[in-house]
């Protein structure tokens, strides 16, 4: 099969050539199509960048290449109406659209999935991405509590946590001794799994943690490829990767964390403000990554509140955890919430842990095995 690309992206062309069944990829700027029309007319599929061809020109391009299947690559637009209008124009002309904020590898995978009925699943550990409905919903504290409980109660599984919150490092609940995400910025696209682990904080319970961004000037300076590479390195190093993606979907760290996840969890309280903010965020998310599924985790709640939120958000409930009066104390003393005397909190975290073990077919460790397992894990 022959693929054409009207645009300029060598990396995308390389990824398209890796698709089984693709023999040749022709790539030219749209302005040069007249000189290359003979080659382009032999293409089975033609990808068109919206940076080279405007939506109003698509009808003409469809006429020029009636024998080819056309794909229109969308850039990021904040305005929902703009995206909806472009998609309508593409449907009118029988042109497939691909959403923005994708790496070259992800775009090629989408093409393979749509036109070759194949999906390449990246090898490595499983990824669970946690996103907050609002700041201060207890996202980081919850992720770290789950990481600790999973590390202590799951047999033969290495647990890693990535802080992908671009606005908050998430180092308040432990005496952090690792590097921060922004300190790895320069090497983020070449970082090996071993180098990643060596830069992470190692918690006494057995999980490793890379805290998030402390340099706000880099908040929006993480390319999609960098975020993807760090996630892949983590998947190579760990059997289970938990990602704290923050509460804003307007950055590549959060978006890549969501798109690479095997499971996505929305962490929220029952506050009306949190619900409204999540709906705003979810609307924006539809521009880039539509049709993503989420599980619901209610913080500072109870069983009744969990059921109510499940109905309001139309999202299956993973679990709920109660409010802890001594949470502020834990942050001051740099210790996890699991160290408090709240039996109910520990019970609920453990229940969620068991569901995650079931979800990914991980074996629970017996109480007798715990101490010996930790020594074997990192020796």
Give the residue ranges of DSSP H helices in 47-184: 58-64, 80-92, 104-116, 139-153
> Do 133 and 99 have their domain in common?
no
Residue 376 has pLDDT above 90, yes or no: no
> Do 212 and 146 have their domain in common?
yes
CA–CA separation, 150 and 370 (whole Å): 11
- Residue that finishes a domain, picked among 116, 146, 171: 116
CA–CA separation, 204 and 201 (whole Å): 10
Residue 20 has pLDDT above 70, yes or no: yes
Average pLDDT over residues 123-148: 94
Average pLDDT over residues 231-237: 96
Q: Based on the structure, what is the number of domains in the chain?
A: 2
Residue 146 has pLDDT above 50, yes or no: yes
> Do 166 and 308 have their domain in common?
yes
pLDDT value for 373: 46
For CA atoms 261, 171, 252, 105, the dihedral sign is negative
pLDDT value for 32: 83
Residue 157 sits in which domain range? 126-378
| Tokens encoding 45 | 């599929």
| Tokens encoding 48 | 């068109």
Average pLDDT over residues 229-254: 95
Could you report the per-residue pLDDT of 76-124, keeping only the tens digit for each?
765 666 777 888 899 999 999 988 888 899 899 888 888 776 555 567 8
- CATH number of the domain that residue 88 is part of: 3.40.50.360
> Do 233 and 314 have their domain in common?
yes
pLDDT value for 368: 62
Tell me whether residue 156 is in a domain: yes
> Do 212 and 345 have their domain in common?
yes
Average pLDDT across the chain, whole number: 89
> Do 162 and 307 have their domain in common?
yes
Tell me whether residue 225 is in a domain: yes
DSSP assigned state of 362: P
Higher pLDDT, 135 or 120: 135
Tell me whether residue 7 is in a domain: yes
Higher pLDDT, 122 or 222: 222
Could you report the per-residue pLDDT of 290-303, keeping only the tens digit for each?
778 999 999 998 88
pLDDT value for 118: 55
Residue 342 has pLDDT above 60, yes or no: yes
CB atoms within 10 A of CB 102: 22
Tell me whether residue 26 is in a domain: yes
CB atoms within 10 A of CB 331: 14
pLDDT value for 75: 80
| All residues at 6 or more sequence positions from 142 whose CB lies less than 8 Å from its CB, including other chains | 130, 267, 297, 299, 321
Taking each helix axis as running N to C, give the angle between helix 303-313 and helix 272-288, from 0 to 180 degrees, rounded to the nearest 10: 40
Could you report the per-residue pLDDT of 251-261, keeping only the tens digit for each?
999 999 999 99
Tell me whether residue 30 is in a domain: yes
Lowest mean pLDDT among 93-102, 156-165, 206-215, 343-352: 93-102
Contact status, residue 207 vs residue 173, Cβ threshold 8 Å: no
Of 255, 262, 221, give the one whose Cα is nearest residue 125.
262
Residue 374 has pLDDT above 70, yes or no: no
Tell me whether residue 121 is in a domain: no
Residue 157 has pLDDT above 60, yes or no: yes
pLDDT value for 298: 96
> Do 138 and 281 have their domain in common?
yes
Higher pLDDT, 152 or 38: 152
* Percentage of the chain modeled with pLDDT above 70: 93
- Residue that finishes a domain, picked among 75, 94, 116: 116
- Residue that finishes a domain, picked among 96, 116, 136: 116
Average pLDDT over residues 231-257: 95
> Do 103 and 207 have their domain in common?
no
Residue 366 has pLDDT above 80, yes or no: no
> Do 224 and 99 have their domain in common?
no
DSSP assigned state of 219: T
> Do 141 and 262 have their domain in common?
yes
Tell me whether residue 189 is in a domain: yes
CA–CA separation, 111 and 5 (whole Å): 12
Residue 214: exposed, middle, or buried by beta-carbon count in 10 A (0-12, 13-18, 19+)?
middle
DSSP assigned state of 211: B
- CATH number of the domain that residue 238 is part of: 3.40.50.300
List C-alpha distances in Å: 160 to 138, 144, 191, 242. Answer: 19, 10, 16, 6
Reported residue count of the chain is 379
Tell me whether residue 305 is in a domain: yes
Average pLDDT over residues 204-222: 94
> Do 260 and 367 have their domain in common?
yes
> Do 373 and 296 have their domain in common?
yes
Residue 33 has pLDDT above 80, yes or no: no
pLDDT value for 254: 95
């Amino acid at each position: 099969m022959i693929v054409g690309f009207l645009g300029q992206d060598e990396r995308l062309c390389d990824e398209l050539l890796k698709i089984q069944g693709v023999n040749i990829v022709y790539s030219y700027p749209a302005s040069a199509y007249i000189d290359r029309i003979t080659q382009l007319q032999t293409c089975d599929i033609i990808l068109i960048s919206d940076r080279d061809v405007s939506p109003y020109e698509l009808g003409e391009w469809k006429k020029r290449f009636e024998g080819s299947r056309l794909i229109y690559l969308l850039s990021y637009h904040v305005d929902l109406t703009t995206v909806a209008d472009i998609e309508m124009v593409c449907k009118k002309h029988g042109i497939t659209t691909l959403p923005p904020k994708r790496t070259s590898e992800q775009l090629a995978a989408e093409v393979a999935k749509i036109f070759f009925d194949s999906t390449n699943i990246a090898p490595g550990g499983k990824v669970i991405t946690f996103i907050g409905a609002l700041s201060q919903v207890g996202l980081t504290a919850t992720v770290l509590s789950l990481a600790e409980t999973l590390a202590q109660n799951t047999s033969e599984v290495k647990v890693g946590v990535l802080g992908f919150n671009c606005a908050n490092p998430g180092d308040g609940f432990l005496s952090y001794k690792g590097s921060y995400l922004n300190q790895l910025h320069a090497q983020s696209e070449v970082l090996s799994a071993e180098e990643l682990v060596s830069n992470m904080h190692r918690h006494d319970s057995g999980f490793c943690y890379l805290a998030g961004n402390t340099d706000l000037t880099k908040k929006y300076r993480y390319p999609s490829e960098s975020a993807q590479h760090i996630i892949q390195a983590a998947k190579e190093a760990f059997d289970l990767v938990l990602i704290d993606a923050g509460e804003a979907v307007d950055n590549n760290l959060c978006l890549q964390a969501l798109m690479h996840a095997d499971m996505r969890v929305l962490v929220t309280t029952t506050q009306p403000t949190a619900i409204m903010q999540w709906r705003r965020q979810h609307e924006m998310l539809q521009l880039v990554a539509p049709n993503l599924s989420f599980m619901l985790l209610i913080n500072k709640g109870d069983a009744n509140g969990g059921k109510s939120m499940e109905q309001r958000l139309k999202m299956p409930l993973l679990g709920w955890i109660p409010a802890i009066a001594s949470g502020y104390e834990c942050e001051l003393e740099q210790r996890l919430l699991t160290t408090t005397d709240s039996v109910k909190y520990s019970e609920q975290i453990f229940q969620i842990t068991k569901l995650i073990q079931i979800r990914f077919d991980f074996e629970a460790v017996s109480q007798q095995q715990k101490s010996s397992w930790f020594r074997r894990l990192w020796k």
